[in-house]
Amino acid sequence: MKRVLLVICMLSTGSLAWAQAPSLGSAASFAVLGGTAVTCTTSVITGDVGISPGSAVTNTGCTISGTVHVNDLAASNARASFLSAYSAIGLMPCTQTISTAAFTGNVPAVLGPFPLGSIPPGVYCFPAGVTFTNTTLTLDGSTNPNGVWIFKVGAALTGTGFQVVMANGAQPCNVFWAVGAAATLTTSPPPPLFQGNLLAGDTTGGSITITGGALVGRALASVAVTLTSTNVNGVCALVDQAKASCKNDDDDRDEDKDHHDRDDDRDKDHHHHDKDKDQDHKDKDHSDDD
């Protein structure tokens, strides 16, 4: 475990250190976060789960390898941070505005000047909703493997057999989907792999539903999260937890150093005090001789 944390600490001060991304704050340590309900059926969640301000967590044959926070302080703080990040994304200027509302198959559709299968880092805006059907979207890190991809969707995001693939060093933790309504991902052979942070922050329609396939990243919703026969790999949340652990270790080492320095100072003071006492005795002996 220490070796894993060491590697993550090195990554956090290296390749990820200068990547520009919206801050998730207290929400960063959660793999799944809901507002009114979290429903998990025959799925696997790797990472912490939270709900606030609601308390309806339904687990039916679900494996969760993390802590479930039900409307506690951690979940409440995470919700506030998540909504703040969602709002911050909304203020970001668009690199590219995409008028196409539906993509079907890997046809030679185009996102601006970029072919659909090769997207460099940037802020991509869909003014309305968007639907992907049996489509593979490749995020290409060849120009900057530490780059950030932001997808701003004005309304609903719907994906059937929709896959997001990282290429040339691109990192799923640097991908953010800010959805203005519901995000719905369903399976279609082969089971799709969606990568990135899903932020459904609309306070009335911001729900996430994933059926089948897998998500590598986070599912953060203002309303509800519903998972059925899917696998949520909260690696991004685990990395943030490990980075926090690295920082705590550094703080502990600094505190130990402070204690050590204070001990050294006390030892020096005792040493000087003893020398002064010895000198006083010598001066007194000389006075007696006189």
Joined together, the tokens standing for residue 28 give 């960063």
Residue 195: pLDDT above 50? yes
What residues does each domain of the chain span?
Answer: 20-243
Report the pLDDT value the prediction gives residue 4, as an integer from 0 to 100: 33
Report the pLDDT value the prediction gives residue 202, as an integer from 0 to 100: 95
Residue burial 182-199, b: 16+ Cβ < 10 Å; e: rest:
bbbbbbeeeebbbbbbbb
pLDDT grade for 24, boundaries at 50, 70 and 90: very high
pLDDT grade for 27, boundaries at 50, 70 and 90: very high
**Mean pLDDT, residues 91-117 taken together:** 72
Report the pLDDT value the prediction gives residue 77, as an integer from 0 to 100: 98
Alpha-carbon distance of 124 to 154, in angstroms, equals 11
Residue 13: pLDDT above 90? no
- CB within 8 A of 204, min separation 6: which ones? 223
Alpha-carbon distance of 235 to 121, in angstroms, equals 21
pLDDT grade for 16, boundaries at 50, 70 and 90: very low
Mean pLDDT of the chain: 81
> Could you give phi then psi for residue 157, rounded to 5 degrees?
-110, 120
Express each pLDDT in 36-62 by its tens digit.
Answer: 999 999 999 999 999 999 999 999 999
Alpha-carbon distance of 225 to 217, in angstroms, equals 14
Report the pLDDT value the prediction gives residue 279, as an integer from 0 to 100: 54
Show the DSSP H helices in 14-122 as ranges.
73-90
Cis peptide before 120 (omega within 30 of 0): no
Which range, of 12-26, 149-163, 261-275, averages the lowest pLDDT?
261-275
Report the pLDDT value the prediction gives residue 278, as an integer from 0 to 100: 55
DSSP 113: T
Report the pLDDT value the prediction gives residue 264, as an integer from 0 to 100: 56
